[in-house]
Structure 1
Amino acid sequence: MSSAKNTILISDAVGLVGAFIITELVSIIGKDATPENLEIRAGYHTETELANALANPPHPSYVKPCLTKWKDVASLETAMQGCTTLFLLTPFTCAVVAQRKVWVDLAIRLGVKHILHAGIHNGELPASDIPAHEEWNRQSEQYIESQSQHLTWTHLRINFDGYNGVVSIGKIQYFLPAALKCGWIAREDIAAVAARVLLAPADHAGKRYRLSTESLSLEDMAAIASEVVDKPIPAVSLKPEQFFSMATSALANPDNDDQYVEYMKSVQSMFQGLSEGLYIYHLEAYPEVVEQVCQRPFLSFRQWLTNSPHKAKLLQ
């Protein structure tokens, strides 16, 4: 780590990816450490969230809670003052390019030196051949790259992530054909790669990391789960329209955000395309990325499930 101070801002400490990254950073640095040249700022999106984090700090003192209200540029500017490194992830809406442009422009003006951008795995195909939400994420990458005279960057291109999303009560289920092998990655591995980039950004400048470690079908996961819990676990294939109903429910979209709904329509189209044999780049896996960046093997689904509290759901 450089002797110059590295002040890292995590744009979203509330979402699962950002929370995992902060946990991984603390694990690497040490809970009881007092780093002189490092500060981590954890972004919360409402005054209530921030007040709770300040009243009951979830992390060591070198992790500083701050306010990053998505639509309040003044709060973003305050949080970004003095930062050198930014982890950039914003809400899933069809306005994602404009949202991230606001962050990037602000970062340039305030002297941020490196942006770690969390995007989506895509097949390097023309825009007409990939779902719209993947193109929006790619356009965000392209805008960041166009500002290379001002800062350096690293892109995370995340495939299917978060095994907890497939573990349900007594079954493995998701919005994919049961026999279709897709590329998955544990959120712990996303966080492990991200943390190492944030701590040593110069070592990863200009890199695009395809985060997809293991090619698995729902049937594969169910077979593994059956062995782990010593009980037959079925694989259940849900329909793309079921995803859309869940993702746009009042619980998932309490503000009735039309731009969020538009993004979810695109994700639904991706699931539909995969069921029809399209978007085959989502079947790819690159286990070497985690191994090279983290200097350890990736976390397999079997390892993740064996040690996960989510395993208990399979026994219900």
Structure 2
Amino acid sequence: MPTVLVTSAAGGVGRPLVRSLTARGVTVRALVKNDAQALLARRDGATEVRVGDMRDVATLEDAMRGADGMYHAAPTQIIDEGPIAEHIVDLGTRRGLGHLVFHSVIHPEITELPHHTQKESVEKLLATQSIPTTILRPSHYMQNYLDFWEFIRGGLMPYPVSTTSPMGVVDVEDVAEAAAAALVAPQEHIGKTYDLSTETITREAMAEAFADALGHRVTAVRLPPTAVVDQAGAAGAVLGGVARAIPSLSPQRAMHLLRGMRDAPNARGIRSWSPQARDNYVQMMSYYDSHGLPVGDLTHLPTLLDRAPTSYREFARREVARRVHGIDR
């Protein structure tokens, strides 16, 4: 039975990937950064767990030892992916890593986005080495908006991007399933690069999808792209959205909005990010606010999944079923 190392195994893609690989009979070794994440990885089915910082060579070497395949995704808050990728190439070459699946990003050629150029640099590095490699380029995650779940329950969908920006999106669970498909059948996917995109949608349409699933109005609200460093400006935009929703605001929905305002300042654990990581995030939101984000080749994902990808409306219905009604489907 092959052993596959999953880095960032407690992350948005990592957790469903561990579950998907385990369900396929793969022995999963999870690399996580702390004991709390280790517990999650074991619950998801990881047979082995390594705890540490992937930027530490000794940690990475221990995690890669004896692995047949590897799925590598660097956390958003890591600014410079280059040294990690160089260590993976060195260790993987010396230890005969059989297959590397690299988690890149859609359109890595967009030079205005630092995290895209980071991914492009790693892709270029991998193209020059001998480790059998598959590259996945996922679009903007549908799940990103769930950081504001309490607001959505209350009837608002705030985000630091224009409500009309066309965003190419993908369901994280589809990304994980596509990654698992590549990892269990490496010979079919080595040397290939796949765009993982489902559809183009505006946040106004996203809000409509959640409104249909929840049975009450949901209003998309634009926060300033600088919201992460200008929380007063973000609060003002949210309060403006609340004022527009007041005529139809029930006490229960008001409670959800209050919880949303309590949780929002540390969405995605952003208080722990470095100043440079926050600056990069602001730059990313500013770009999306003005330009949106195009989809990639829409034929790749259905081929990997052997089914139609999850639409945004299906995603909204699923999340409401899980989070409101306790139904996992």
Same structural fold, with TM-score higher than 0.5 when normalized by the shorter chain: yes
Deviates more, 1:90-99 or 1:108-117: 90-99
Pair 1:6-2:5 in alignment: no
Structure 2: runs of 5+ lacking an equivalent? 232-263
Task: State the alpha-carbon separation in 2 of the partners of residues 138 and 304 from structure 1.
Answer: 29
Q: Is the 8 A contact 1:214 1:285 kept in 2?
A: no
Task: State the alpha-carbon separation in 2 of the partners of residues 58 and 251 from structure 1.
Answer: 22
Identity %: 22
1:58-116 CA-partner distances (Å, limit 9, x unpaired): 144x7322234324322221221111211111233222112222222212121102111
Displacement of 1:266 after TM fit? 2.5
Alignment of 1:280-295 (within 5 A): 282-295=293-306
SS at 2:133's partner residue? strand
Instruction: From the superposition, tell whether residues 287 and 251 of structure 1 become closer, same or farther in structure 2 (CA, over 3 Å).
Output: closer
Pair 1:65-2:49 in alignment: yes
Q: Look up the match of 1:43.
A: 31
| Candidates 296, 308, 316, aligned match of 2:307 | 296
**Paired AA for residue 91 in structure 2:** L
Q: Look up the match of 1:270.
A: 284
| Candidates 147, 153, 158, aligned match of 2:138 | 158
Task: State the alpha-carbon separation in 2 of the partners of residues 270 and 249 from structure 1.
Answer: 18
Displacement of 1:218 after TM fit? 0.7
Instruction: From the superposition, tell whether residues 253 and 106 of structure 1 become closer, same or farther in structure 2 (CA, over 3 Å).
Output: farther
Q: Is the 8 A contact 1:11 1:68 kept in 2?
A: no
Structure 1: runs of 5+ lacking an equivalent? 30-34
SS at 1:222's partner residue? helix
1:103-155 CA-partner distances (Å, limit 9, x unpaired): 22212121102111111112645x4xx322211111011111110xx211111
Pair 1:21-2:17 in alignment: yes
**Paired AA for residue 138 in structure 1:** E
Count of paired positions:
286
Instruction: From the superposition, tell whether residues 44 and 270 of structure 1 become closer, same or farther in structure 2 (CA, over 3 Å).
Output: closer
Instruction: From the superposition, tell whether residues 266 and 89 of structure 1 become closer, same or farther in structure 2 (CA, over 3 Å).
Output: same
Q: Is the 8 A contact 1:250 1:256 kept in 2?
A: no
Q: Is the 8 A contact 2:3 2:27 kept in 1?
A: yes
Q: Is the 8 A contact 2:7 2:74 kept in 1?
A: yes
Pair 1:225-2:225 in alignment: no
TM-score with structure 2 setting the length: 0.78
Structure having the larger proportion of residues in helix: 2
| Candidates 215, 219, 231, aligned match of 1:234 | 219
Q: Look up the match of 2:269.
A: 252
1:265-310 CA-partner distances (Å, limit 9, x unpaired): 2232232133334xx6x23254422211110110111111212157
